[in-house]
A and B are shown apart, each in its own frame.
Chain A
Amino acid sequence: MWRSVRSIRSFAITLVLGGAALIAHADSTADREAFRRLYLQRFPTVEIDQFVLGVYAIDAKLREQYESINEFPPYEFALDEGEDLVLKRFANGVGLRECLAKNDNRGVNQYPYFDAATGEIVSLSVAINRCRERNGEAPLNYRRQALAKTLAALNFSARGTRRSVTVGHDAKAQAAYASGKAHFYMKRGQLNLSCADCHVTAAGKHLREQTLAPLLGAVNHYPVYGLRWGALGTLHMRFVGCFEQVRAMPAAPQSRIYRELEYFLAVMSNGLPMSGPGIQR
């Protein structure tokens, strides 16, 4: 029933069940080119930068609704609070931006990154909490609004930049990238669906009344204000929701699997504009 994703070639990856992914040859740049080509061919009337809007890039009627809501974005109150949270200094006087600058002065568009020292993928959320812990503050809960608002403010200030995440030559970074990619294409859950099944193979088609979103650039508009929630939602919260929807056991936000998925999706979105916070149904 599902077409195999034949148009993505150029990489060979072997999966070993229950453990590490062995990479025969992980070429993230080639993967990204193939990913782009697939969506550009599937949706030839859509200009590439528009893909950051997700489903609103490919459906004219939904786009009209999106534009009318975007005239007065519903995330504005949350964004103001986020800006206050970013500016609020920790008890010891250090500011968040000052602390984040210690990560090689990385811009928001350069997250997530592979941290060679710890061998982990560091997402912006993890970096924020590391800063808080290093400065004697309690970490923020990954499911709650305070973190989402902080992410909204940081991403808003990154508008105008383009996603720029490099995988590099470090073997562990390559392995983390390959693992993220493997999880993206791996079937899971009682419904036995992979991310690719809905968002690559069936992108633009309907699942009940919802139009399935293409994922090129999708991570660039997170966090999103969900109209169905009346609140902001982060990328990892969306991953949790997706796992639940295919009836798979969800992992916790910011767990390794989700950070690796974020890494893979960020690399796929390289070169596309940062457009957070976004708006979704």
Chain B
Amino acid sequence: MSNSIKVRTSVRNNTVTVRMLVRHAMEVGGVRANGERVAAHFIKEITCTHNGKTVMVGHWGAGIAKNPYLSFTIRDAAVGDELRIRWVDNQGGIDEFATRI
């Protein structure tokens, strides 16, 4: 997937609120009503680095809903700083997104 992460940031004083929408099936897996077996497919870990330093790590499981929305704040951040978001899922899929605040 070329890009599954959309990020928006808003700055207030020196705190930045980062909001993101991640497109991922977040499939719990199991057996469907018609007998079809579906493999679990969900993001296991999502990290955000700010100017190279890791500021957020999320350890997710199958309980997180499809196309998850996540928001968090970073202290002592300013416009122009670099943000990198990266996720890894349980089937080895990865996606990364880099942006500037």
What residues make up the interface of A, taking CB atoms closer than 8 Å to B? Answer: 69, 71-72, 74, 76-77, 230
Q: Which of B81-99 contact A (CB under 8 A)?
A: none
Complex interface: chain A residues within 8 A of B69 (CB) = 69, 72, 74
Main secondary structure of the interface of A (DSSP, over half): loop
Residues of B in contact, count (CB < 8 Å): 11
Whether A72 and B8, one on each chain, are in contact in the complex, defined by CB atoms closer than 8 angstroms, is yes
- A76, B65: Cβ atoms closer than 8 Å: no
Chain B residues with CB under 8 A of A76: 6, 21
1/0 per position for B15-33, CB-CB distance to A under 8 A? Answer: 0000111010000000000
Q: Which of B19, B23, B65, B66 contacts A72 (CB 8 A)?
A: B19
Among residues of B, the one whose C-beta sits closest to the C-beta of A225 is: B67
A72 to B9, CA, bound (A): 11
Chain B residues in 8 Å Cβ range of A77? 6, 21, 23, 67
* Cα separation A72 to B6 with both chains bound (whole Å): 9
Are A72's CB and B67's CB within 8 A?
no
On chain A, the residues within 8 Å of B67 by CB distance are 74, 77, 230
**A69 vs B69: C-alpha distance when bound (angstroms):** 9
Among residues of B, the one whose C-beta sits closest to the C-beta of A80 is B6
Scoring B20, B65, B67, B71 by chain A CB atoms within 10 A of each residue's CB, the highest score goes to: B67
Complex alpha-carbon distance, A233 and B6, angstroms:
22
Neighbouring A residues of B65 by C-beta, 8 Å: 230
* Cβ-neighbour of A71 out of B6, B19, B23, B66 (below 8 A): B19
> What are 21 A-B contacts with C-beta separation under 8 Å?
A69-B69, A71-B19, A72-B6, A72-B8, A72-B19, A72-B20, A72-B21, A72-B69, A72-B71, A74-B21, A74-B67, A74-B69, A76-B6, A76-B21, A77-B6, A77-B21, A77-B23, A77-B67, A230-B65, A230-B66, A230-B67
Alpha-carbon gap, A71 to B10, bound state (A): 11
- By a CB distance below 8 angstroms, the chain B residues around A71 are 19
Q: Give the residues in chain B near A74, CB-CB below 8 Å.
A: 21, 67, 69
